[in-house]
Amino acid sequence: MTFEQLGIIDPILKALQREGYTHPTPIQEQAIPLLLNGKDLLGCAQTGTGKTAAFAVPIIQHLYQSKTRQKGSRPVRALIVAPTRELAIQIYESFTSYGQFTGLRSVVIYGGVKQGKQTQALQKGADILVATPGRLLDLIGQGFIDLSSVTHSVLDEADHMLDMGFIHDIKRIVRLLPQKRQSLFFSATMSKEIEALSKNILGQPARITIQPEQATAEKVDQALYYVSKPDKRKLLLHLLEEESMDSLLVFSRTKHGANKIVKILERAGHKAAAIHGNKSQNARQKALGEFKDGDLNVLVATDIAARGIDVDELSYVINYDLPNVPETYVHRIGRTGRAKASGIAISFCDTEERAYLKDIQKLIDQRIPVVSDHPYPDNGSRPETVPSNNPPRGGRKKQRNQRNGRNRRRS
Ligand code: AMP
């Protein structure tokens, strides 16, 4: 299947070619024809599947071909709502890139920064508006945005929106949209709440599910290291020495933990930075930019900040802490093994995290291969070796003496 066969028009084909896309990903193959036909869509897919192009391309095509635009005026005709600034910027960049030969204008707005530049951009007109919910409502309230001409709306990462407490904002935004429009709704997971919200928003949608297991199993090489909590920092430094990790994203469950990991890495001479909710938007963008440019080789992130981060060629992800929500594991490792690259996802698991591991393995329906031959093994964390809650620890010293990190063996 090629993009031409999906019925995409020349100016967009040219942009996709320039991006280096040769073939559509599965979600693009399924979604693009439906969306070009005007259907509403309920998409169950995570970031990393190519879902942004799956919705951006048909929207750009509709707007380009539509006769509704009058010369001189540029009312917002497509509205994309995303939970985080990073994701909003990324979606905006995708629209700008796929639409570069169409003359359409995109604008992105998000909170945490002064509004001046954003309102100036809006005043020049926007065919496509990408927004986070809070700033969107704020600027609507101030009269900078009118949604009455919207013909296409997208709610991206709806599950994440709910996690972040945006449900009422979303409902308010939806009430401001014209009834007659094409409506798209994406979520990586489908809970009862998500289904209920989607019913509120969509008419009779087509449904597309791209299983996260496919993304994890096929593209990402996963590895599990049992290690005690205090040894995690040493194991991280050891792995950085052993493997040539050009670009590594480390996940920490907490902001404080992320800062601590950065300090450990910097002390060991690595170029690292943290991105999380307590960092200013500028600091986050700067760190992400430096990471993308290769000036930083390690980025340490919390889940909220990292979701949607799009770094081509990200070679490694390390779960320094295992996430307590199993779907988050799938999101995290989806950061690597993106549409173009294959990747490696390494997870550290200490005794307290065993229950999380069990849930993760149940969700992905596979056992993550264990690397037991490393300098900091913690048999206390290996459920199959020592089932008791108070594992004898005497063996560890001996094992350390038998260090042989180079002969990594997966069992
Ligand atoms: P997304 O799921 O939208 O975040 O996309 C994941 C990554 O895949 C991004 O880096 C896109 O630039 C890239 N991508 C999307 N579609 C394709 C495609 N058809 N071929 C190659 N790369 C793609």
pLDDT 10s per residue in the chain (411 long)?
899 999 999 999 999 999 888 889 889 999 999 999 999 999 998 777 889 999 999 999 999 999 665 566 799 999 999 999 989 999 999 999 999 999 999 999 999 999 999 999 999 999 999 999 999 999 999 999 999 999 999 999 999 899 889 999 999 999 999 999 999 999 988 888 899 999 988 888 999 988 654 445 456 889 999 999 999 999 999 999 988 887 899 999 888 999 999 999 999 999 999 988 777 777 888 888 898 888 998 999 987 666 556 666 677 899 999 998 887 888 788 777 554 556 789 999 999 999 999 999 988 888 999 999 999 998 776 665 444 343 333 333 333 333 333 333 333
Residue (of 134, 132, 138, 143) closest to 79 by Cα position? 132
Do 337 and 227 lie in one domain? The reply is yes
Q: What per-residue confidence (pLDDT) applies to 292?
A: 83
Do 274 and 364 lie in one domain? The reply is yes
Report the number of secondary-structure helices (H) and strands (E) in the chain: 17, 13
Residue to probe by mutation, ligand 1, list 25, 93, 154, most atoms within 8 Å of CB: 25
Q: What per-residue confidence (pLDDT) applies to 218?
A: 57
Residue ranges in 220-344 assigned as alpha helix (H): 232-242, 255-267, 281-293, 303-306, 326-333
As a residue count, the chain comes to 411
Do 238 and 256 lie in one domain? The reply is yes
Ligand 1 centroid – CA 53 distance (Å): 7
Residue nearest to atom 5 of ligand 1 (CA): 50
Task: In whole angstroms, give the CA distance from residue 299 to residue 306.
Answer: 10
Q: How many structural domains are present in the chain?
A: 2
Judge whether 2 and 25 are in contact, CB under 8 Å: no
User: 157: which 2 tokens?
Assistant: 């990462």
Q: For residue 320, which amino acid is it?
A: Y
Do 200 and 222 lie in one domain? The reply is no
CA atoms within 13 A on the CB side of 153: 22
Do 40 and 182 lie in one domain? The reply is yes
Residue nearest to atom 21 of ligand 1 (CA): 21
For position 161, which CATH number holds?
3.40.50.300
Ligand 1 centroid – CA 411 distance (Å): 33
Q: What per-residue confidence (pLDDT) applies to 114?
A: 96
Do 389 and 245 lie in one domain? The reply is yes
Do 174 and 303 lie in one domain? The reply is no
Residue nearest to atom 6 of ligand 1 (CA): 48
Q: What per-residue confidence (pLDDT) applies to 330?
A: 82
Considering 190, 210, 230, which residue would you say is the last residue of a domain? 210
Judge whether 392 and 386 are in contact, CB under 8 Å: yes
B/e letters for 262-277, b = 16+ CB within 10 Å, e = fewer, are bebbeeeebebbbbbe
3-state secondary structure of 78: strand
Q: For residue 252, which amino acid is it?
A: S
Q: What per-residue confidence (pLDDT) applies to 20?
A: 84
Do 134 and 65 lie in one domain? The reply is yes
Ligand 1 centroid – CA 71 distance (Å): 33
The pairing of strands 298-301 and 272-275 is: parallel
Do 98 and 240 lie in one domain? The reply is no
Considering 194, 210, 226, which residue would you say is the last residue of a domain? 210
Judge whether 136 and 155 are in contact, CB under 8 Å: no
Q: What per-residue confidence (pLDDT) applies to 324?
A: 85
- What range does the domain containing 291 cover? 214-410
Residues with CB under 6 A from ligand 1: 21, 24-25, 28, 47-53, 310, 312, 338-340
Do 156 and 287 lie in one domain? The reply is no
Do 261 and 173 lie in one domain? The reply is no
For the chain, how are helix, strand and coil distributed in percent, rounded to 5?
Answer: 45, 15, 40
CB proximity list for 244: less than 8 A, separation 6 or greater: none
Q: What per-residue confidence (pLDDT) applies to 68?
A: 60
Ligand 1 centroid – CA 338 distance (Å): 7
Q: For residue 407, which amino acid is it?
A: N
